[in-house]
Chains A and B, each alone.
Chain A
Amino acid sequence: MPEGFILVDPESQPESSPTPISFAAPTAQRAAWRVWALVLGAAVAWLLVWGRLQPFADWLTYEIIGLAPDSRLGESVAFFLYDVPKILMLLGGMIFLVTVVRSFFSAERTRQLLGGKREGVGNVLAAGLGVVTPFCSCSAVPLFIGFVETGIPLGVTFSFLIATPMVNEVALAMLFGLFGWQIAGLYMITGLAVAIVAGWFIGRIPDIEKGVEDFVWQIDVGEANIQASKPTWTERFEQAWRTTKEIVGKVWPYVVVGIAIGAAIHGYVPEDALADVLGADAWWSVPAGVLLGIPMYSNAAGIIPVVHALTEKGAALGTVLAFMMSVIALSLPEMIILRRVLKLRLIAIFIAVVASGILLVGFLFNAVI
Chain B
Amino acid sequence: MIIKILGTGCANCKRLKQLAAQVIKELGIEAKVVEVTDISAIMSYGVTTTPGLVIDEKLIGYGGVPSKQQLTHLIQQAA
Please list the residues of chain A having a beta carbon within 8 angstroms of any beta carbon in chain B.
2-8, 13, 15-17, 21-23, 25-27, 106-108, 111, 134-136, 138-139, 141-143, 145-147, 149, 215, 219-226, 238, 242, 340
Contact = CB atoms under 8 A, between A and B. Distances in A.
Nearest to B53: A5
Contact of B59 (A4, A8, A136, A221): A8
Contact of B43 (A4, A15, A145): A145
A27 B70 CA distance: 8
A107 B39 CA distance: 17
A136 B10 contact: yes
Nearest to A15: B58
Question: Among the interface residues A23, A135, A340, which one has the most CB atoms of the partner chain B within 10 A?
Answer: A23
Contacts of A215: 40
Contacts of A149: 43
Question: Among the interface residues A3, A22, A134, which one has the most CB atoms of the partner chain B within 10 A?
Answer: A3
Contact of A108 (B48, B70, B73): B48
Contacts of B58: 13, 15-17
A142 B42 contact: yes
Contacts of A111: 48
Contacts, number: 116
Contact of B48 (A15, A22, A142): A142
Interface in B49-79: 49-50, 53, 58-67, 69-70, 73-74, 77
Given A27-B69, A107-B49, A108-B49, A141 B39 contact: yes
A96 B43 CA distance: 30
Contacts of A136: 10, 12
Contacts of B64: 2-6, 134
A142 B49 CA distance: 7
Contacts of B63: 3-6, 106-107, 134, 139
A219 B69 contact: no
B43 A5 contact: no
Given A142-B8, A219-B39, 5 more contacts: A5-B63, A5-B65, A5-B70, A16-B58, A142-B50
Interface residues on B, range: 20 to 34
Given A4-B64, A139-B49, A142-B8, A25 B70 contact: yes
19 contacts: A5-B64, A5-B70, A8-B60, A22-B77, A23-B77, A25-B69, A26-B73, A106-B63, A134-B49, A138-B12, A139-B48, A141-B8, A142-B50, A215-B40, A221-B44, A222-B43, A222-B44, A225-B46, A238-B67
A13 B61 contact: no
B27 interface: no
Contacts of B66: 5
B47 A142 contact: yes
A79 B74 CA distance: 49
A312 B53 CA distance: 49
Contacts of A223: 46
Nearest to B13: A138
Given A142-B42, A146-B43, A242 B67 contact: yes
Given A6-B64, A138-B11, A221 B49 contact: no
The list of the 3 closest CB pairs from A to B, nearest first, reads: A138-B10, A146-B48, A222-B46
Given A23-B74, A220-B43, A8 B69 contact: no
